[in-house]
Amino acid sequence: MKPILARLTVILLLCFAGNALAAANRPNIILIYSDDHGWADLGAQGVDQDIRTPNLDALAHAGVRFTHGYVSAPQCVPSRAGVITGRYQQRFGVEDNSLGPLPLAELTIAERLKPAGYVTGQVGKWHLELAGKKPQPAFLPLGQGFDEYFTGTMNTFVASHDLQGNRLPNAPQTLTDKRFRCVWQSDAAVSFIGRHARDPFFLYLAYFTPHTPLESPEPWFSQTPAHLPKQRRQAIAMIAAMDDGIGRIRAQLRTQGIETNTLIFFIGDNGAPLKEGAWDGSLNLPLVGEKGMLTDGGIRTPFVAAWPGTLPAGTVYEPPVINLDVAATAVALAGLPHDEKLDGVNLLPFLRGEQTGNPHEALFWRWRSQAAVRADHWKLILLGPQERYLFDLTQPNGETNNLIAQFPQVAADLEKKLMAWNATLPPPGLPRPAHVEDEMFYDAHVRLTGVAAVKHPAKAKGKAVEIPAAGEQGWLGRNCVLSVRDGALRLQPDAGAENHFITRNNLDLAGPVTVTVRLRWPGGGAGGVSWRTQGQKDFSAGQTAKFAAAAVPDWQDVKVPLPAAGHVIHVRLYFSGRTAPEIAAIDLQGATATVSSRWSPKPAASQP
């Protein structure tokens, strides 16, 4: 009851403030959110010549393109919770996709603007309701401050109006439209604008694209380059359909004579997923990482704002901004008092040159077993309780060169900021133990590209331990340090580690697979090989083949058959005990006669 009373109190106060406002024309505000849309897939970025977004490019040329525009999470639900409230979503517990719904005590942008006389509308993906349960109106847009709504992702949606603008009796009603999802979503947005051209309005348009399931919508698919992979062509086509819709929305604003009284934000909700079996065809180039990571590939997205006649046209804005800034900007434009609970910043004074410097002293993230802070051009990432990465984002190699060893004080200062922010969150623990999927992400994009992590000194049994760059022909050590000496791969277990292993991903081995390890383990021991196949996100408990090595002083070959079905894309080679073997070679052989992957000493040498 107390959160509801507090919520009503705030709304009433805002109502009084809104009644006191002059009747001057308050600008319309449109927030457009795309879904799993990589940084490269905006033509104006100039990264990929195959992408075609003429209307979004025109929007950028008419306003501001943010080259360092961030979102508050690398995943759908928390990113949307952040943008619609203007607050770090960790403050109210919506930290990842499993932790919804959006609490009713939190004010949305719609709820903040209604007391100022705004009509509010929502179209497309919401994703802030109770996951996996029958939708409850209180947790849908109709219960979160939106007067009108067309809530849905694919071909059915819950609506207050039909697409011709007629109020539906006994709304909400569920409607069906068989056309490609972006088409009806654009229709709903254009219809809403037409109905409220003479009202100040706030429209939240959340396109469900290029998120999977991938489709081949026409006429856009036929216009994509035929030589590209089908998934890439589908993503380009789906983005083109969205882009056409944005062109229609801008045309409607011009027809209604309100283009110069409308601020539009366009933002991607997070980076594109790239991992095997989940790629939606979008690209994050040249950024490192993907959806699910706090590297820029996961949280830096297409980010544009346009307000013809108010924002300077053709501006490329370099300082970092974040999706949380939309709410603070909207509240200021509505003439409402600033709320200290908002974590965003009103961007207008910075974009118009009325205020200098960076809008933010620092930006923060906490997601699953990752945490990060960006201040100026520096970014610190923590993975699990030990690994730390410091990046200079102004350098061409950006997030491929860990600079902690060269700039330990910079890292320490950033970590102090991160911990101070974290202390304001419920709960303040930072970060959680390493998550298996996060490990896989960093294996693929950071560790195996030669970026060295550094263990936190306070977590490394009294001394700093450098984990060498994972350059051992694709193999990475976990709970151990790898080195090559006298023609053999050697594992030095971390202090107190009972289980240590080496791992390799980015494989493509048709099952069944045979693993042959040439090793020397004078004390003998047991181990196992786990595998993950294409389409599997995690390692399965039933996918481990065990082995035993004899306690002999000489080299021996241990063969481990993996009864894998499908294509093996990731393996882990485990060793139990407090000592580890020396390894002279590792062969991974798929169902064909050719050895698909091999580790052997470099430079080439005869086997021991």
Do 150 and 276 lie in one domain? The reply is: yes
94 and 241 co-located in one domain: yes
**Domain that includes residue 520, residue range:** 475-599
Residues recorded for the chain? 608
Distance CA 74, CA 310 (A): 31
On the question of pLDDT at 553 being above 90, the answer is no
Indicate the helix (H) or strand (E) that contains 304.
strand 303-306
- Of 423, 444, 470, the one marking the end of a domain is 470
Burial 483-515 (b: 16+ CB within 10 A, else e): ebeebbbbbebbeeeeebbbbbbebebebebbb
> The dihedral of CA 88, 90, 92, 95: what is its sign?
positive
As a whole number, mean pLDDT of residues 218-247 equals 96
- Given 358, 390, 422, the domain boundary residue is 358
pLDDT of residue 463: 30
Contacts (Cβ under 8 Å, ≥6 apart) of 397: none
According to the model, what pLDDT value does residue 450 have? 54
C-alpha distances in Å from residue 277, one per residue of 106, 212, 229, 269, 536: 36, 11, 14, 20, 8
Q: Is residue 300 part of a domain?
A: yes
Mean pLDDT (whole number) for 222-243: 96
Query: Quick check: helix, strand or coil at residue 314?
Result: coil
My answer on whether 344 and 404 are in the same domain is: no
Band the pLDDT of 94: cuts 50, 70, 90.
very high
Same domain, 66 and 189: yes
Task: Find out whether 88 and 70 touch, Cβ atoms under 8 Å.
Answer: no
In a domain, 604, yes or no: no
Which domain CATH number covers 344? 3.40.720.10
Asked if the bond preceding 433 is cis, omega within 30° of 0, the reply is: no
pLDDT, position 453 = 59
The verdict on 256 and 120 lying in the same domain is yes
What are the tens digits of pLDDT across the range 240-265? Answer: 999 999 999 999 999 999 999 999 99
Reported pTM = 0.76
Structure tokens that stand for 341 in this block: 């609970």
- Burial of residue 216 (number of CB atoms within 10 Å: 0-12, 13-18, 19+): middle
**16 and 164 in one domain?**
yes
- pLDDT at residue 525 in the model: 82
Give CA angle at 490 (487, 496), nearest 5°. 170
Per the model's pLDDT, the better-predicted residue between 525 and 331 turns out to be 331
Q: Are residues 462 and 511 both part of a single domain?
A: no
Quick one: which of 50, 59, 60, 62 has its CA closest to 220?
50
Contacts of 322 (CB under 8 A, 6+ apart): 69, 70, 71, 72, 344, 360, 363
Say whether both 370 and 338 belong to one domain.
no
pLDDT of residue 358: 95
Tokens 């080195």 label which residue? Answer: 483
Q: What percent of the chain has pLDDT over 90?
A: 61
Q: Where are the beta strands (DSSP E) in 494-535?
A: 499-504, 509-510, 513-520, 525-533
Residue 302 pLDDT exceeds 70 = yes
In a domain, 605, yes or no: no
Flag the least confident range among 53-57, 177-181, 587-591.
587-591
The answer as to whether 607 is a domain residue is no
CATH code of residue 379: 3.30.1120.10
Which candidate, 367, 542, 356, places its Cα nearest to that of 441? 367
C-alpha 330/C-alpha 369 separation (Å) is: 32
Same domain, 323 and 199: yes
Cα separation of 414 and 244, whole Å?
42
Shared domain check, 422 and 294:
no
- Only one residue has tokens 């390692």, namely 539
Q: Which of 9-23, 38-52, 393-407, 574-588 has the lowest mean pLDDT?
A: 9-23
Q: Is residue 608 part of a domain?
A: no
CATH number at residue 511: 2.60.120.260
pLDDT value, residue 603: 40
Q: Calculate what percentage of the chain has a pLDDT beyond 70.
A: 85
Alpha-carbon torsion (234, 240, 245, 248), positive or negative? negative
pLDDT-based confidence at 448, cuts 50/70/90? low
Side-chain-side CA neighbours of residue 239 (13 Å)? 34
Q: Residue 172 falls within a domain, yes or no? A: yes
**pLDDT at residue 65 above 80?**
yes
Q: What is the pLDDT of residue 465?
A: 28
534 and 546 assigned to the same domain: yes
The answer as to whether 606 is a domain residue is no
Total domains in the chain come to: 3
Q: Are 309 and 431 within one domain?
A: no
Which of 419, 452, 470 is the last residue in one of the domains? Answer: 470
Residue 102 lies inside a defined structural domain of this protein: yes
Per-residue pLDDT tens digits for 554-567: 889 899 999 988 88
Tokens of 22: 């002059």
Confidence band, pLDDT 50/70/90 cuts, at residue 494: low
Q: Is the pLDDT of residue 316 over 70?
A: yes
pLDDT, the chain, mean: 86
3-state secondary structure 98-128: CCCCCCCCCCCHHHHHHHHCCEEEEEECCCC
